Structure 1
Amino acid sequence: MRFKKAIRYIIGKLIKLAVLLLAVSILSFILVSNSPVDPIQSYIGADMTRVSPEQRQSIAEYWGLHEPPVQRFLHWGKNLLQGDMGTSLIYRSPVSSIIAERFVASLALMSLAWVLSGLFGFLLGIIAGMKEGTWIDKIIKGYCFTLASTPAFWLGLVLLILFSVWLGWLPIGLSTPAGILADEVSLLERIRHLILPVLTLSIVGVPHIALHTRQKLIEVLNSEYVRFAKAKGELGFTLLWNHGLRNISLPAISVHFASFGELFGGAVLAEQVFSYPGLGQAVVQAGLSGDVPLLLGIVLCSTIFVFIGNSIADILYKAIDPRMRRGDL
C-alpha cells in the first residue's frame, strides 16, 4: 500500500514537471521570438555590412530562421523529444555539450554558496532568536535587512574592488588563470577563483534563512510547552536542543530548498560580474544574441533544477514532520 502511494506521488510529480516544462518552453520561446534582437546579425557579427541579402537568406535557411515561429517551435520540440537540444548559434556547438560543460562550473559555485548560506543563516537565526531584543539580535537583524535589499551584482563589485583591486589577495575573475590550459590548473587555483563568487552568493542568501529561523524560534520559545520546560529547569542550549531545533528546522529546510530559483538568479549576476564561465553567463549571452536553442535548453535545465529543489524540500518536510504527510507517502 505504501509502495503504491509512493508510485502515485512520483507519477504526480513527473506530470507536474512535464506541464511546467511545456509552459516554460512556450513562454520563453514567445518572449525570445518577439525580442528586438536579430539572431542573424548576432551570428554574423561585425561583418554584417559585407553580407549580401542572398547570403543572409542562406544563413536564415540553414538555421531554420525563415520558418514561422510556430513551425520552428514544433520542430525544436520534436528534436528535443528525440534527445537533440539543437545547435547553439553563438557557440556553433551542440546545446547539450555546452550545458554539460558549463553546468559543472555552475554546480560547484551554487553548491558551495548554498551550503554556506544555509549554515550561516541557520546559525545567525538561532543566535538572534535566543537573544531576542538584545543588541546582538538588533545587529543580526540590521545585517539581514541590509543584505536582503542589496543586489548581488553590486555586492560582487564591492568584493571585487576590495579583495582583488585594492588588496590584491584574490584573482579578478574567470574560473582559471588566463593563458593557462585547463589541465594545468591546480586545485588551489580553482578554489581561489571560486572564493569571491561563492562569497557573493553566500552573503546574499543568508538573510532569508536567518530571518525565518529567528521568527520561528521566537514563536517556539514563547509557546506553552517551552514555558513548561523552562519551569522544569531547562535553559539555554538544552532547551534549544530538546524543543527548538526540530521545530525551527522545518521552515529552514523549506525556505532553503525553495531558494534554488533565487540561487540560480544570483548565480547569473555573479557569473557576469566575475566573468565566471557557467550557465548564468551562457544564458545572458544567449538572450542578448537571440540564440533560441541554447536559451531554451538552459531554461529547461534551470526549471528542472529548481523543481528538484522544491520536491526535495517537500519530501524532507514530510519526513521530518509526520503531520505534514497527509497520506501522500
Structure 2
Amino acid sequence: MDVLTSETPEAPAPGDGRGHRGGSLGGALLSRLVRLVLLLFAVAVASFALMLGSPVDPIDAYVGADIAAIGPEQRAQIAERWGLDDPPVERFTSWLSQVVRGDLGQSHTFNQPVADVIAGKFLTSLALMSVAWCLSGVIGFGLGLLAGIRRGQLTDRVITWWAYTLASAPTFWVGLLLLYAFSVALQWTPVCCAVPVGQVASEVGLLDRLHHLLLPAVTLSLVGIAPVVLHTRQAVAVAMASDYVAFARAQGERTTGLVVHRVLRNAAGPALLLQFSSLGELFGGSLLAEQVFSYPGLGAATTAAALGQDVPLLLGIALFTTLFVYTGNQLGDLLHSWLDPRTRRLGAAR
C-alpha cells in the first residue's frame, strides 16, 4: 500500500533554536531597553540628590560678585522662578515629568534650553573624542600586539613599562606638559581654543581646526592607550601559547601567518570591547583636557555648570552621558560577540 507523504515543512527540532530566534532577539532588545530606562532613572535620582546636598547655593553662584547688590525680594523672585522653594520631591517629579515630555529645562549659565546646549557643545567635543578614541584604539592595539608577540623580550618590557606609566599619569598633568613642550617651547601647536582667537568659527578652515584639535586629542588619547595595550598583550600572549598555534608552528607556519590568521581575531574582540567600554573614561578625561586647552566642548560646559550650580544643565548632562556610555557598552558587546562566537554560546547558555 502506498504511503502518502506530507509536504509540510519540517518542524524545527526542540534544541536548534530556529523557532525561537525572532522571539529571543525581541526579548533581548526589550531587556536592554528596560535596563536602560532603570539605569537612567537611577542616575536621575542620584544626580538630583547630589545637587540637593551641594553646599553651593545656586542663587549665589548665578549672581556671582553682585550677590550683595540684590535684596531679599530679588532672591525670593529668583528662587520662585527656579522652583527652589518647592519641596525636593515635588521639584524632582516636576523635572522628571518635563524630561519624559522631552524638555530638559533651561540652562542658567548659557541662557538656552539644556537640549540645545548639550547638542551644540557635544558636536564640538565629538570631533575631539572621536580622534582621541581612534588614536588610543589603533596605537594601543598595535603596541599590545607587538608586546604580546615578543613577550619577555626588551620590546615587551619597554612597551609594558610605558603603558603602566601612562596608566598612572593624570590627564591634567600630561596635558600641561604637552602644552608647555609643543605650544610654549616649540610653538608647533596653538595654546588654546578650537579655532584661532578672534575668528568666527564658521569662517575657519578644516586645516586650522585640525591644528587646534591635534594636541588636545593626543592628550585625551593617552587616557585609553594603556588599558588597550595591556589587555591586548595578554590576549595575544595567551593565543600564542595555545595548542592550535603550537600545532601550526609544527606545520611550518611562520609568525606573520600565525598572527594574521590565528591570533589577530582573538585579540581584536577583547580590545574592541574594552575600547567601547572606555567611553566613560574618555568623557571624564575630556573634562580635564578641555580645561587645559580651553576647548569649548561639553567637558568645559560641565565644569561651567558645576561652578555655577546650573542644576538643569548638570542633570541633563548626567542623563546624556549615561545614554552615551550605555550605547557604547552595548555596541562593544555586540561587536565582541560577532568576533568571538564563544561569547554568544555562553550568553545563550545563561
Q: 3-state DSSP class of the match of 2:219? A: helix
Is 2:138 aligned against 1:123? no
Is 2:270 aligned against 1:245? no
Is 2:265 aligned against 1:259? no
Residues of 1 paired with 2:161 and 2:236: CA distance?
18
Provide Cα deviations, 1:185-234, integer angstroms capped at 9, x if missing partner. 11111111101110001123111101101111111111111111111111
Is 2:153 aligned against 1:134? yes
Q: Which residue of 1 aligns with 2:58?
A: 39
Whether the 8 Å contact between 1:164 and 1:170 is mirrored in structure 2 is yes
Is 2:236 aligned against 1:232? no
Whether the 8 Å contact between 1:125 and 1:210 is mirrored in structure 2 is yes
Residues of 1 paired with 2:339 and 2:267: CA distance?
11
Residues of 2 paired with 1:75 and 1:235: CA distance?
66
Q: Which residue of 1 aligns with 2:205?
A: 186
Q: Which residue of 1 aligns with 2:311?
A: 292
Deviation, structure 1 residue 282: 1.0
Q: Which residue of 2 aligns with 1:169?
A: 188
Please tell me whether Structure 1 or Structure 2 has the larger radius of gyration of its CA atoms: 2
Residues of 1 paired with 2:51 and 2:208: CA distance?
38
Whether the 8 Å contact between 2:62 and 2:309 is mirrored in structure 1 is no
Q: Which residue of 2 aligns with 1:57?
A: 76
Alignment match of 2:39 (pick from 20, 37, 48) = 20
Q: 3-state DSSP class of the match of 1:325? A: helix
Alignment of 1:150-169 (within 5 A): 150-169=169-188
Q: Which residue of 2 aligns with 1:215?
A: 234
Q: Which residue of 2 aligns with 1:272?
A: 291
Residues of 1 paired with 2:190 and 2:105: CA distance?
35
Name the stretch that deviates more: 40-49 or 304-313. Answer: 40-49
Name the stretch that deviates more: 73-82 or 281-290. Answer: 281-290
The one-letter code of the counterpart of 2:245 is V
Residues of 1 paired with 2:26 and 2:92: CA distance?
32
The one-letter code of the counterpart of 1:103 is F
The one-letter code of the counterpart of 1:247 is N
Deviation, structure 1 residue 3: 2.5
Question: Which runs of 5 or more residues in structure 2 are unaligned?
Answer: 1-19
Residues of 1 paired with 2:22 and 2:291: CA distance?
46
Q: Which residue of 1 aligns with 2:94?
A: 75
Whether the 8 Å contact between 2:167 and 2:227 is mirrored in structure 1 is yes
Q: Which residue of 1 aligns with 2:121?
A: 102
Provide Cα deviations, 1:98-129, integer angstroms capped at 9, x if missing partner. 00100101111111111111001000011111
The one-letter code of the counterpart of 1:230 is R
The one-letter code of the counterpart of 2:133 is W
Deviation, structure 1 residue 20: 0.3
Q: Which residue of 1 aligns with 2:340?
A: 321
Deviating beyond 3 angstroms after TM superposition, the runs of 4 or more aligned structure 1 residues are: 326-329
Deviation, structure 1 residue 236: 1.5
Residues of 1 paired with 2:338 and 2:164: CA distance?
32
Residues of 1 paired with 2:121 and 2:251: CA distance?
56
Whether the 8 Å contact between 2:124 and 2:297 is mirrored in structure 1 is yes
Residues of 2 paired with 1:310 and 1:123: CA distance?
22
Q: Which residue of 1 aligns with 2:5?
A: none
Deviation, structure 1 residue 310: 0.5
Residues of 1 paired with 2:61 and 2:348: CA distance?
50
Q: Percent of aligned pairs with the same residue?
A: 50
Provide Cα deviations, 1:138-172, integer angstroms capped at 9, x if missing partner. 11011101001001111111110111111111111
Provide Cα deviations, 1:258-280, integer angstroms capped at 9, x if missing partner. 11111111111111111111111
Whether the 8 Å contact between 1:254 and 1:314 is mirrored in structure 2 is yes
Deviation, structure 1 residue 328: 5.2
**What's the C-alpha RMSD, in Å, of the aligned pairs?**
1.3
